[in-house]
Amino acid sequence: MLEGARVAVVVPAHNEARLIRKTLCGIPAFVDHVVVVDDASEDDTAQRVRALDDPRVELVRHRDNRGVGAAIATGYSRAFGAGADVAAVMAADAQMHPDDLTALVRPVLRAEADYAKGDRLSHPEAISAMPLGRLVGNHVLTRLTRLATGLDVTDSQCGYTALGRSAYGALRLRWVWPRYGYPNDLLSRAAVAKLRVRDVVVRPIYADERSGIRPHHLVTSFPAVLALGLFRRVRQLAA
């Protein structure tokens, strides 16, 4: 536990056999429950998770590939259903530094925020650590997300997040965008629910992992998600 609260970590995973063990072994000891959601991996991801000798780890498997957003929603459901006070999300590719987890969950535990969001773009090593394409793309998508949601976020695409129990109850994640664009859709829902969203600076970590975002996502998923977010905002302002 951390500060007397039960902390869970949700790890969405799809074909992450190479790095899933490293990710799980790095999760701090104060975490009470780790929910790995294997989104119909075709490699040995599930077997590597089962091989770990860690009673905190629960493996949930999707029979069909539903997308990263759907995997996170499944993880949230299991984590909060098991009594978590806060649930953080850590990717299975070891790109989220475990030493940043305390700072990320603390604003939620102290009731200073409902949803804490990692901010890599404000880190002093962002320019040198992040590939140029991702750096520029994240800045562009963040500006568009701010316009669509009205939230003053700095790194909309960072998946390193922490959500409080009461905030989870206020969000209708059953219908959240299931694939790429999930972070933007959740921010839109958070804005409509008038949740307090706080940026927390985290380390940008990049090695040889390839981004799952493809060019067609930029002309299909993201415009649709941002348009939906803008519609929600306009409807709320007109109400």
| CATH of range 7-238; options 2.60.120.460, 3.65.10.10, 3.40.50.200, 3.90.550.10 | 3.90.550.10
- Residue 208: its pLDDT value, please? 60
Q: What's the pTM value of the predicted model, to 2 decimals?
A: 0.93
Closest residue by Cα to residue 228 from 145, 120, 129, 172 = 145
pLDDT score of 117: 98
End-to-end CA distance of the chain: 42
Q: How many CA atoms lie within 13 A of 38 on its CB side?
A: 21
**Is residue 118 within 8 Å of residue 40, measured between CB atoms?**
no
pLDDT of 213-238, one tens digit each?
555 555 568 899 999 999 999 998 88
Q: pLDDT value at position 19?
A: 96
Say what the pLDDT of residue 2 is: 93
- Domain map of the chain by residue range? 7-238
Written in H, E and C, the secondary structure of 27-63 is CCCCCCEEEEEEECCCCCHHHHHHCCCCCCEEEEEEC
Best CA proximity match to 165, nearest among 52, 82, 102, 43 = 82
Question: How far lies 234's CA from each of 150, 171, 174, 239, in Å?
Answer: 10, 19, 23, 9
The pLDDT of residue 236 is: 87
Q: Which residues of the chain have pLDDT under 70?
A: 208-220
